[in-house]
């Protein structure tokens, strides 16, 4: 039988394939055996070229960590150290008899404030020592009207003071602004009520109207409040006087309508401190040192109607220096970023052109904002001096739109500085991280929160757009000149 060449080739291929298949099976079995053997042996340590390890971050004390670290059963201290505390006396403060004296005192306490920031952040309020130092400077009481024995500090100076403190800590500046502005509100009391409530001007006042309580008119010239709890009492841990917001109802439970405005009457009313309890419920991400805790009535209370003023939504600008909180926080970010960039350049590290130009952009934007707010403040001060603080509706509407440009500049500065600073390791408990937390919480305030601010802006701009006599403030020239033809208050 003859075998053809094709058959021989097919046979050869088949034999080779069989052999390869058997070889694969044998190789797989051998590999499995070797793997099982090797698994039972200790693995030899691999060596590699040494790698530079960055130095460990310095240990931080427990009180510097982000977030509340004290236990739930640890009460938040109330009040501040007294003026004759040796630590306050050692500061060498002078009597706050002038605006210049208050600023000199602020300069003297700044190192102490910086020292107290970590503990303030930990316990959720400005520490009693820092609060006592701020109180001793006179910054809480310098806004009392001159006819009540106060300094009647100009808004430009208030804005500057708040900005300076915010450059150290935004929460402390938050306290400075609100306690200071509430002293101005005390000037709305009549002479008898003011004397009863303020035998001394050195009595810081907290005020919250969130949410407003229900105040019932009685037949004995008093308001009766059955129960109430007010949130966001910024500065309450330092306060001696308690002011609260309420909507007024008559004895039959019907809303009292203000005849002049046609809206539900709202009041700010001084409530006796022995009828109140403060609640340690302030535990936010940032602005922790503001101590904006709630307070509530311990039972029904009746207060004289003279211990109140009507909240009319009028043209009072006591809120305006509040803008200094966010401006100072933005300046704080720039300060820290400048320190970082300068340290890199001194160490011979190349600073990229993007970082340099972006930082210049942030600084110039912040300059324009700070100078613009000072111009607004000077305008407000002229109205206070020449028209007893009475704005036209158009002026008030225009000034009330200032929150949004502050927000936009702040966010621009935040984004730029975070981009430059964030290229390195930023611990959560670092100073830069704390400022970022403070800004994030500050943006939730109605003056800066976009949803609220845009509604307010639309309402105020409607006044501006519908008025034929409106002129932007820049038309007032420089130095600022008030528009003519506006009637002075009688």
For 92-122, how does the pLDDT look when each residue is reduced to its tens digit (9 = 90+)? Answer: 999 999 999 999 999 999 999 999 999 999 9
Tokens of 311: 């909240």
Q: How far apart are CA 455 and CA 464, in angstroms?
A: 15
Instruction: For residue 367, count other CB atoms closer than 10 A to its CB.
Output: 10
In which band, very low, low, confident or very high, does the pLDDT at 259 lie, cut at 50, 70 and 90?
A: confident
Helix H or strand E encompassing 230: strand 229-233
Phi, psi (deg, nearest 5) at residue 225: -120, 120
Q: How far apart are CA 166 and CA 173, in angstroms?
A: 5
For 404-445, how does the pLDDT look when each residue is reduced to its tens digit (9 = 90+)? Answer: 889 999 999 999 999 999 866 778 789 999 999 999 999 988
Mean pLDDT lowest for which of 114-128, 249-263, 446-460? 446-460
Phi, psi (deg, nearest 5) at residue 68: -70, 125
Q: Are 115 and 133 in contact (CB under 8 A)?
A: no
DSSP H stretches of helix in 388-430: 393-399, 403-421
Does the pLDDT at position 396 exceed 50? Answer: yes
**What confidence score (pLDDT) does residue 401 get?**
79
Tokens of 286: 């940032």
- Rama region for 389: left / alpha / beta (φ>0; ψ in -120 to 50; rest): left
* Helical axes 155-166 vs 170-185, angle rounded to 10°: 160
Task: State the residue for tokens 């306060």.
Answer: 239
Does the pLDDT at position 35 exceed 70? Answer: no
DSSP reduced 3-state for 2: coil
Does the pLDDT at position 54 exceed 70? Answer: no
Domain residue limits, the chain: 66-194, 203-310, 320-476
**What confidence score (pLDDT) does residue 223 get?**
98
Q: How far apart are CA 383 and CA 482, in angstroms?
A: 7
Does the pLDDT at position 273 exceed 80? Answer: yes
Cis, bond preceding 307 (omega within 30 deg of 0): no
Q: How far apart are CA 34 and CA 15, in angstroms?
A: 29
In which band, very low, low, confident or very high, does the pLDDT at 177 lie, cut at 50, 70 and 90?
A: very high
Does the pLDDT at position 128 exceed 50? Answer: yes
In which band, very low, low, confident or very high, does the pLDDT at 65 lie, cut at 50, 70 and 90?
A: very low
Higher pLDDT, 453 or 205: 205
In which band, very low, low, confident or very high, does the pLDDT at 72 lie, cut at 50, 70 and 90?
A: low
In which band, very low, low, confident or very high, does the pLDDT at 235 lie, cut at 50, 70 and 90?
A: very high
Mean pLDDT lowest for which of 41-45, 314-318, 397-401? 41-45
Contact partners, residue 484, CB within 8 Å, separation at least 6: none
Give the best-scoring range by mean pLDDT among 34-48, 186-200, 248-262: 186-200
Q: Are 212 and 245 in contact (CB under 8 A)?
A: yes
**What confidence score (pLDDT) does residue 324 get?**
97
Instruction: For residue 262, count other CB atoms closer than 10 A to its CB.
Output: 7
**What confidence score (pLDDT) does residue 489 get?**
42
Q: Are 215 and 250 in contact (CB under 8 A)?
A: no
Tokens of 486: 């506006």
The CATH code belonging to domain 320-476 is 1.20.140.10
**What confidence score (pLDDT) does residue 486 get?**
60
Q: Please, what is the average pLDDT of the chain?
A: 86
Fold classification of 66-194 is Butyryl-Coa Dehydrogenase, subunit A; domain 1 (1.10.540)
Fold classification of 203-310 is Butyryl-CoA Dehydrogenase, subunit A; domain 2 (2.40.110)
Environment class of 33 (CB within 10 Å of its CB; exposed 0-12, middle 13-18, buried 19+): exposed
Mean pLDDT lowest for which of 18-32, 87-101, 290-304, 438-452? 18-32
Q: How far apart are CA 338 and CA 330, in angstroms?
A: 12
């Amino acid at each position: 039988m003859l075998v053809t060449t094709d058959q021989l080739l097919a046979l050869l291929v088949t034999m080779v394939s069989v052999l390869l298949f058997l070889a694969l099976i044998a190789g797989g079995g051998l590999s499995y055996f070797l793997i099982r053997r090797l698994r039972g042996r200790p693995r030899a340590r691999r060596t590699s070229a040494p790698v530079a390890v960055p130095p460990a971050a310095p240990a931080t004390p427990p009180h510097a960590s982000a977030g509340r670290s004290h236990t739930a059963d640890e009460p938040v201290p109330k009040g501040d150290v007294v003026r004759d505390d040796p630590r306050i006396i050692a500061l060498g403060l002078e009597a706050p008899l002038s605006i210049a004296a208050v600023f000199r005192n602020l300069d003297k306490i700044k190192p102490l404030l910086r020292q107290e920031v970590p503990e303030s952040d930990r316990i959720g309020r400005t520490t009693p020592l820092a609060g006592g130092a701020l109180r001793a400077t006179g910054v809480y009481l310098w806004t009392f009207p001159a006819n009540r024995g106060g300094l009647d500090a100009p808004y430009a100076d208030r804005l500057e003071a708040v900005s300076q403190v915010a450059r150290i800590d935004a929460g402390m500046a938050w306290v400075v602004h609100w306690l200071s502005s509430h002293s101005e509100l005390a000037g709305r009391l009549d002479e008898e009520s003011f004397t009863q409530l303020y035998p001394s001007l050195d009595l810081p006042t907290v005020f919250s109207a969130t949410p407003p309580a229900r105040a019932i008119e009685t037949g004995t010239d008093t308001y009766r409040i059955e129960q109430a709890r007010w949130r966001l009492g910024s500065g309450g841990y330092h306060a001696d006087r308690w002011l609260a917001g309420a909507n007024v109802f008559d004895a039959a439970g019907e809303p009292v309508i203000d005849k002049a405005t046609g809206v539900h009457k709202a009041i700010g009313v001084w409530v006796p401190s022995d009828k109140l309890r403060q609640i340690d419920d302030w535990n936010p991400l940032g602005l922790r040192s503001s101590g904006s805790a709630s307070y509530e009535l311990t039972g029904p209370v009746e207060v004289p109607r003279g211990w109140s003023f009507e909240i009319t939504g009028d043209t009072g600008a006591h809120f305006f220096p509040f803008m200094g909180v966010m401006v100072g926080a933005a300046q704080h970010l720039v300060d820290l970023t400048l320190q970082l960039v300068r340290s890199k350049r001194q160490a011979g590290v190349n600073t990229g052109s993007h970082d340099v130009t972006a930082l210049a952009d942030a600084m110039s934007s912040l300059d324009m904002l700070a100078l613009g707010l000072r111009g607004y403040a000077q305008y407000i001060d002229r109205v206070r001096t020449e028209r007893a603080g009475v704005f036209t509706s158009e002026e008030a509407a225009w000034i009330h739109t200032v929150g949004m440009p502050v927000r936009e500049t702040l966010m621009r500065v935040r984004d730029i500085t975070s981009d430059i600073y964030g290229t390195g390791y930023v611990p959560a408990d670092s100073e830069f991280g704390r400022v970022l937390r403070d800004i994030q919480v500050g943006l939730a305030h109605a003056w800066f929160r976009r949803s609220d601010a845009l509604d307010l802006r639309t309402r105020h701009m409607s006044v501006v757009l519908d008025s034929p006599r409106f002129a932007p403030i820049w038309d007032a020239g420089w130095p600022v000149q008030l528009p003519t033809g506006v009637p002075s208050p009688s």
